[in-house]
Every structure is written in structure tokens, then in C-alpha cells.
Amino acid sequence: MIIFRYDKTFEGLLTAIFDAYNRNTFPEKLLGFEDIEPLFVTETYTVLTQEDKSARVWKGLEKKLMPMALNMLTYVWLSELPGSDELLFRYIRKTFDNKKSIETNFADDDVLQVHKTAKKVSAEKNRIIELVRFQKAADDIFFAPVSPDHNCLPLTISHFKDRFADQKWMIYDTKRDYGFFYDLKTVTEMTLDTTELFPAGKLDERLMAEDEQLFQKLWKAYFQSLTIKERINPKLHRQHLPKRYWKYLTEKQ
């Protein structure tokens, strides 16, 4: 068994593909630097991430794939599902090795899995856009904590930048401990100590603006006034609004 070790970044994965073709040696398994090595390993190669190599691989993909397929590769990487890097490695290798496009060859299991995984991440991205709830802090910055199953927060930032261009805001992924802050001009990635900021999925009341609690009460009242008790369907409700999002929804608190 041939193993490649790399730094578990997307650029590192693309560098691994470059090195594999350069060495004419293709791994059966991809591992991080700290991962435990399996039995019966015949060769181990350590990939050193290089921007020029990863850029050359990406340019090659741009010539072989349509923009939608390129986006799917990014979505699969952001899925963070076990084995997603090895799936991408196989998909990209097949892309380079075939003269014809493999994008719609759904008889190939790797192509099918790439489509299915990208669809899951896209659905979660849309849920974040639909369900995020901003809370106004005393310094007039709007905060919104999230914790999606997939690392899809970067995919939503362009939407929020366009939608809330006249407000300072921060969206923070509490599961992965990073977020993005918009200062009316640029978006910056940052990390915070969220222990005191977001207890129980909402902004600490001591940090809220004076009128924030009032607006939350008004929103809850509006939500309740729209509810038709005779038509309540908990099963359908959870299907369209997964329970894992409830702790961040004002109307559910």
C-alpha cells in the first residue's frame, strides 16, 4: 500500500496530485501528518504544499471542467466528510486521464458521489442563508452564531455582504471556531473566545443593545400569531427546519 501524507489543506491536496503525476506513483490512501499509519504499507511519501504546484493543477482543471464542476470540487472539500479528500483525488485523476469529460458520467461511482456530496453542502449553505438570526450588540454590530454540519460558512459570505452592505456584522461558526467580520468595507476572517459571547446559542444579554430584547419579543409574538394550531405538523416541521438549527433561532428560544 502506498500512502501520501499531507497537511490536510485543499492546496496540499492539489500539490499531492501534482507530485503523484510527477513521480508516476499514485497513493491508495491519503493521511494527515498526525494520522496513524495502517498495516502493510510499502511506501510513504510526504507532500510539501507548494502554491505553484497547486495553481498548475487548478489551471489544468479549469481547462477540463465546467465552472459548475469546479464549484462542486470546492463543495466536496468543504463537506469535511471522511474520505472526501480521497474521493476528490480519484475524481481529479479520472478528469486528467480521460480525453472526454467525466462530469455527467453517473455510472462512475466517484462522479455520482461528488454530485451527491456537493448537493448536501449546497443545501446546508442555503439553510444558513435562510435561517441565520442576527442579534444586535451594544456597539451596533450584528452577531449571528451558526454550527453547520459542513464547513459551508465561506460559501454564504458574498450573499450577506450584498444583503447587509450597510451594517456591521459578524457570522461565527461555533463548531469550527472561526467567523467573518464585515466593517462596511471589507470582510475579515477572525476567531473569538465564544464561551461568554454565545451561551445557549444566543448573544449574552449583557452584550445586547438596549432594544434587542424588545425586538426578539416582538419577533416571537409575530411568529406565534402566524401559527395555526390545527395545522401543526411536528414531523414535517422538523423535516423543513432541522432541530439542530433551533438553538440559534429566536422564535425557538
Range of the domain at 211: 132-252
**pLDDT tens, position by position, 77-108:** 999 999 999 999 999 999 999 989 899 999 99
Angstrom distance (rounded) from CA 110 to CA 27: 16
Rounded CA-CA distance 134/39 in Å is 49
Q: Are strands 43-46 and 2-6 parallel, antiparallel or unpaired?
A: parallel
Domain co-membership, 40 together with 100: yes
**Are 104 and 183 within one domain?**
no
141 and 58 within one domain: no
| Residue 199: predicted pLDDT | 65
Burial class of residue 181, CB neighbours in 10 A (0-12, 13-18, 19+):
middle
Last residue of a domain, one of 123, 143, 172: 123
* Class of residue 246 by CB neighbours under 10 A (exposed 0-12, middle 13-18, buried 19+): middle
Please give the tally of structural domains in the chain: 2
The DSSP call for residue 208 is B
Measured CA to CA, the distance from residue 237 to residue 71 in angstroms comes to 31
Pick from 88, 103, 123: which residue ends a domain? 123
Per-residue exposure over 154-166, b if at least 16 CB sit within 10 Å of its own CB, e if not: ebbeeebeeeeee
Convert the pLDDT of each residue in 126-144 to its tens digit.
Answer: 999 998 889 888 888 899 9
Q: DSSP for 186-202, please give it.
A: -EEEE----TTT-GGGS
Element (H, E) at 43: strand 43-46
Distance between CA atoms of residues 15 and 95, nearest Å: 16
Query: Do 112 and 144 fall into the same domain?
Result: no
Reported pTM: 0.86
pLDDT in tens, the chain (253 residues): 899 999 999 999 999 999 999 999 999 999 999 888 888 888 999 999 999 999 999 999 999 999 999 999 999 999 999 999 999 999 999 999 998 989 999 999 999 999 999 999 999 999 999 988 898 888 888 999 898 999 999 999 999 999 999 999 999 998 999 999 999 999 999 988 766 676 666 777 777 788 888 888 888 888 888 888 888 888 888 888 888 888 888 887 7
Do 188 and 108 share a structural domain?
A: no
Q: Which of 77, 103, 123 is the last residue of a domain?
A: 123
Judgement on whether residues 217 and 178 belong to the same structural domain of the protein? yes
